[in-house]
Chain A
């Protein structure tokens, strides 16, 4: 049996379909009181003899009855509609035996779909176009990716999700409706051809699928893991209106992992060298995207990174259990193979200024330094010992591998009762890291409710499974220390939700007299991040907003200094990996046009 038949069989297994004539649109189904079954009734002619043929509409059975002799293996002369008499046999041939095929119309899942059957007696082939298969496939629910058990995973830093395997990915891919006007593409900041790559998965062409994603997204293995899909592509998925949307993120991760694990990563063909040099400041998601884009366009690219490892927030911020560092390393290795040079331990603004980069021969500079400055709440007692920023906690543990102390020299702060302030992904990362570091009680302190939490649904669910407590509608107002100035308590106030504020979320209002004390011995402040001013100390001309972010035109990313572009968190403030990548891509297109076009106009 051919694979396509296999597939449609399994889809149709056990279903009983309404059938109609494609010409007169009258029903072909008849009820036979003798057998108490519904049959499909067709007129048949064989060697001049005409008769009636009854087919079981349960397509997996394909039972038949006829009032004339139909010996196994013969091809009937004609199949026609018993009501209008029109022949159903068409040009299309059976894929199994090559005999002519007859066309019916079947009604499935509120749609009329063409359906072919073979005219050779005994041949069980029936076929549909691929699009039709998608239309009539029975309901398959969203596939869950296997995960480490919560009790097990809180004792290690290994990745929580194992990702979809081949079979699950095929089933999940079959859920895609392959819409004519896919809303998911428009909802993706880098406009990945989502139905396209899912189609390739369905065809079993995983490597091609990965390459299709990579045309738009340089870091699919990363984005498949950390993108807020539930707010982007999956939110727009049409299937999501009725049931759960297609697990686009999991599929993206699957193809990227498949490509990497099977060593099928190919280096794309680069454009001929242009002789132009591009300096990229910062090796986070924006910088890496810019570097990948510009190097494939034929420019020579150098990335300057201030830390001793490239990757930016991907290495210092996002924990191993959510994004294994080996994946980031392989993405960076890919860039190096593309020819990108990465200079570590190089702080632009201190070691070199932007002006000096131009003077040393760079033709364009991209600033993608991110939002790396931790924001504190400016509450009394915030400088007590064991109150620290999410950045410090995560950097110590992820970048400096403090979880392996004393094998690695950097110590990690520890606490039994840990409070994490904030409700974003970073807060979840800190809380889940603290659980793994052996803290007995870890609480998320958030001033609004679960619905307003900016974290991905998957992260809050995982945190909850791992025993993290959620203290919602709660806000700290001061910290109390012991005689050694270590934090021992935190005074909080209960909140209630008021009218929406500038961000569109309901404004939390303190409830008078609801103050209470909470015992804590470690507090992690994860309420956001600001722009790091180090870069600007050497480039005061770079225009900035009141909040200290770089002023850049959308969508080009051009700044106030000719030849300097900016993108990512340094322009928008803390956002997501994918938005930074989208901004970098647009800046790269503009930069390329600027470098290649002799005119150096800067508006």
Chain B
């Protein structure tokens, strides 16, 4: 039961300097009962099988409760039954839109435990593929977020680029989503002939087409009306929930482990980070688009740097990590990905703990949705970027 005789603002937070004068005024004897609305696990507005239970008072959300676990596949346990070289084929599936970054994290943490030197060329190629993978991931979210807000065209635009990039990466790795291209100590194979020329061409092409997205989506009045001022996430709240990636950068926190804790050769290239101002849905989406642009900027630098040389090291017949533990964090497309690997000296890990970005990002959803209207909830769910497999592992 609620009392609508008090005045309340429809948008709990508006963008600074902007006053939305929408107010609802009850006449005092209009009473509503609370309703529970379960969105999901299969619902088109939540990508994948994310389920969220909303407590509604009329159109307003009084409480939101994410129900996770519909995609729990037990990665951490399964990793204990896989060889150190086999884990990568498993972990590149938990965040299925950033397969390469996931396996890169595992390769790095195993190499850290083995104290292995990775050839320069392998490190540069890893960066190249990881950045292409980031572009692939972000393009998917660009398409799907717009789709959730009712615009179907950006999806087709995004897949036009995605298909070309997937064909490029398939030439090198043989995979479209799950590349399994990393190997402990380097890469499976060197880049095929003609890959670089194609990569240069595609980078140029995508950069030429990127303004389309800025104009078509960011410049769209309907899109702005649905996103500006919706679901602002203050930086201190974002940090307290452990939110990372574009969602955190949109709140104005310059955290990107490619800059703050460089791995591979990220300290040798220029990695720009776009920061948002208000942390609302619009900023989160803008951050995503800028991250595509900056990833392409990094790819261009890698093209100029790529050294010659071997791409992998000879591995012993049996890879056994020494007793101990190691932690490696990398900047996954959606945020901080951390792997904690513990070994008892055997052939398989004793424990693999994952710190996945989506899991932390989703924690902020109850905070964001409280007091919001139902249509705005879709805008928030789409812009707090998560992949369900990455939440549930």
Judge: A and B partners, yes or no.
no
